[in-house]
Amino acid sequence: MSIQSGAVPKVIRLYLELSQYPTLAPRIRQRMREELFTRGIIRPDEFEQEVEQKAIQSQLREGLTDPVSQESPDTWDLRLRSIRDNLTDFYFGYNLPHDLLDEIVRETIAHPASEQAFRLSFNPELAPWDVLFEQGELYENALPEERADVEHHLREIIVVLIKAMISDQLAFVRVAREYFTMKDLRDIFTHRISRGKIGGKAAGMLLAYKVLQREGRARGIDVDSLIRIPESWYLASDAFYAFRSRNNLISYMNQKYKRPEQMIADYPEAHEAYINGRFPEHIAERLQELIFVVGKHPLIVRSSSLLEDNFETSFAGKYDSFFLPNQGSPAENLKALMDAIARIYASVIRPDVLIYRDQMGLTDYDERMAILIQKVEGERYGRYFFPSFAGVGFSENPYRWNKRIRREDGMLRMVVGLGTRAVDRVAEDYPRMVALSHPELRPEPTPEMVRRYSQRFIDVIDMEANTFRTLPLHEVLSTDYPGLGAIMSLDRDGYIQPMARRSLSMRLDQMVVTFDKLLQQGQLASLMRDALDVLEQAYHRPVDVEFA
């Protein structure tokens, strides 16, 4: 676009006139853009493309050598709004009569804001996010009789925000649009760091919880008191691009097209480059704020690739996760957090991941790694932090060790402590296998086999040593542990029996992890069976969940 001299006075006159309406100017300019688009002067997509191009040019003029990493998302949004307003004034002043502006101003003044706001006067696909949130929340909070007339507009805004912020997989969007509200999306937005999507693992967790809240309640599950998700933050996918750009890692982008032997040969050098990388300042500042908010509570840093928890493929176990005790100084805790994120970023180019992507036909997909940061579920016992039990639940049970077991009722793998030993199979140590149709049935037919195939080690966070540890159970638990009776049974005289009461003579080496008492109470098994069934019905396919 080149500004011709004859148009300048019109644009200046228009700008000066709009400056007299500081609170109404955004609505007036929105109406001006509507006129430009409906009259065919410029298409909405062309307009927004020009806005972005000029915003990038303005960054370079202001001396930003690496705009992606040097400018925060908030500053970028402010830049876009300013460029959008200037471009609106130019196109309108150059192409349309001033009388039309007068008419738009009179119309805006004459109609109350609430009346104008209820009319969807923009294309949600092209609108800035702040406009989408403002309009969507207005619709969502409307009176029932008013909302009925704008429900279709609300639905479109929700879909646009889901695709922009969470996932653009249509299979996901079709389910998610039925459950997410503007309030949910606002909460995700406030816990989001950087631009881009929050990734598959975070998306799957949030959608599963929303499904349980609605459908679970309808099934009589007391979701509000029995189920919750950990407090979570989302380092969005654009931070991955900013990190690579800041550290000149572009040369490793196309590892996926190399021969497997070349991938393996290059990986040590590439991995070293990633883990020694530095974060852009605006991202480091947000992570520092997160560390301040969390305090001394342990964290888990998890991959949330856009490929993970895909409806068609599973990347379970392909990327890394890290437990952070978070017991050092704020600077030490921040460094540990950024180190964990960098290591997860490095796992994107790990040879086994790239080979798996090739096998799944996903080589040409541009991998975008987001990060899910969560408070660890559990409590402190002595010097250690861990949940009483954790594990993985499956809506379909592939192991029917007894004819009475119903495959469709699902199964659990459970362990004492952090759930890593249930998620990742460990040699010479075993989780408890629970058929949810008959939780009292064990795959081991004799007490001797129950002892042999039981858990002996526990994964914990050592709060004093500020590290993740695997220890023998008897080094962590004592006979005064509050949940001992629910997770342990007595092993005496060749029999395994429930712990009726505690006595001073009891020793931990006389006990074995069974979860018998917990499972006999029935509530856990029925809750997990119902929850997994609700999720499978909503997703129209088998599902698995992690729990603690």
Residue listed under structure tokens 């840093």? 301
- Confidence label for 258 from pLDDT (cuts 50, 70 and 90): confident
Q: Which residues lie below 8 Å from residue 481, measured CB to CB, with a gap of 6+?
A: 381
C-alpha separations of 262 from 126, 305, 308, 359, 506 in Å: 43, 24, 25, 17, 58
**Distance between CA atoms of residues 102 and 174, nearest Å:** 43
Mean pLDDT to the nearest integer, 467-491 = 90
End-to-end CA, the chain: 58
C-alpha separations of 461 from 322, 329, 334, 403, 479 in Å: 11, 17, 18, 40, 20
pLDDT value of position 8: 54
pTM for the predicted model, two decimal places: 0.79
pLDDT value of position 3: 43
**Distance between CA atoms of residues 504 and 132, nearest Å:** 64
522 against 346, higher pLDDT: 346
208 against 422, higher pLDDT: 208
- Confidence label for 118 from pLDDT (cuts 50, 70 and 90): low
In the chain, pLDDT over 70 holds for what percent of residues? 92
- For the cut 60, the answer to whether the pLDDT of residue 278 exceeds it is yes
Lay out the sheet containing 390-394: strands in order across.
432-435, 411-415, 390-394, 544-547
Mean pLDDT to the nearest integer, 131-138 = 86
Mean pLDDT to the nearest integer, 57-66 = 83
Helices (H), 121-222: 129-140, 144-165, 170-176, 182-190, 200-211, 217-218
**Distance between CA atoms of residues 12 and 10, nearest Å:** 6
Displacement of CA 231 from its chain's centroid (Å): 11
**Distance between CA atoms of residues 507 and 504, nearest Å:** 8
pLDDT value of position 505: 61
Angle at CA 398, nearest 5°, toward 546 and 211?
40
**Distance between CA atoms of residues 118 and 139, nearest Å:** 7
How many H helices and E strands in the chain?
Answer: 25, 16
- For the cut 80, the answer to whether the pLDDT of residue 266 exceeds it is yes
**Distance between CA atoms of residues 239 and 279, nearest Å:** 9
Displacement of CA 313 from its chain's centroid (Å): 18
- Confidence label for 180 from pLDDT (cuts 50, 70 and 90): very high
pLDDT value of position 414: 95
pLDDT value of position 255: 77
* Arithmetic mean of pLDDT over the chain: 86
pLDDT value of position 121: 67
pLDDT value of position 5: 44
Mean pLDDT to the nearest integer, 237-249 = 89
Q: What are phi and psi of 221, to 5 degrees?
A: -80, 130
Structure tokens at 207: 């959608």
pLDDT value of position 87: 92
- Residue among 352, 368, 350 at smallest CA distance from 360: 352
Structure tokens at 240: 């991955």
> Are residues 154 and 183 in contact, defined by beta-carbon separation less than 8 angstroms?
no
pLDDT value of position 150: 87
CB atoms within 10 A of CB 144: 6
Structure tokens at 399: 């192991």
- Residue among 548, 523, 520 at smallest CA distance from 393: 548
pLDDT in tens, 503-546: 656 777 788 999 999 998 878 999 999 999 999 998 888 999 99
- For the cut 70, the answer to whether the pLDDT of residue 228 exceeds it is yes
**Interstrand relation of 390-394 and 544-547 (parallel, antiparallel or unpaired):** antiparallel
- Residue among 419, 435, 437, 451 at smallest CA distance from 546: 419
pLDDT value of position 183: 93
Q: Which residues lie below 8 Å from residue 169, measured CB to CB, with a gap of 6+?
A: 310, 311
pLDDT value of position 525: 92
> Are residues 407 and 542 in contact, defined by beta-carbon separation less than 8 angstroms?
no
Q: Which residues lie below 8 Å from residue 537, measured CB to CB, with a gap of 6+?
A: 215
- Confidence label for 1 from pLDDT (cuts 50, 70 and 90): very low
pLDDT value of position 21: 86
Structure tokens at 150: 């704008």
Structure tokens at 43: 């298409």
Mean pLDDT to the nearest integer, 97-103 = 89
pLDDT value of position 117: 53
pLDDT value of position 163: 92
- For the cut 80, the answer to whether the pLDDT of residue 2 exceeds it is no
pLDDT value of position 287: 95
**Distance between CA atoms of residues 359 and 82, nearest Å:** 46
- Residue among 477, 501, 499 at smallest CA distance from 490: 499
C-alpha separations of 98 from 5, 71, 92, 203, 204 in Å: 17, 37, 9, 48, 51
Three-class DSSP category at 280: coil
- Residue among 538, 545, 541, 542 at smallest CA distance from 214: 538
**Distance between CA atoms of residues 252 and 17, nearest Å:** 52
- For the cut 70, the answer to whether the pLDDT of residue 4 exceeds it is no
**Distance between CA atoms of residues 510 and 497, nearest Å:** 11
- Residue 508 DSSP code: G
- For the cut 70, the answer to whether the pLDDT of residue 315 exceeds it is no
Least confident of 73-82, 268-277, 307-316, 492-501: 307-316
CB atoms within 10 A of CB 321: 18
Q: What is the CA radius of gyration of the chain?
A: 28
Mean pLDDT to the nearest integer, 481-487 = 88
- Confidence label for 387 from pLDDT (cuts 50, 70 and 90): very high
225 against 27, higher pLDDT: 225
Angle at CA 135, nearest 5°, toward 132 and 139?
130
**Interstrand relation of 299-305 and 192-193 (parallel, antiparallel or unpaired):** unpaired
32 against 509, higher pLDDT: 32
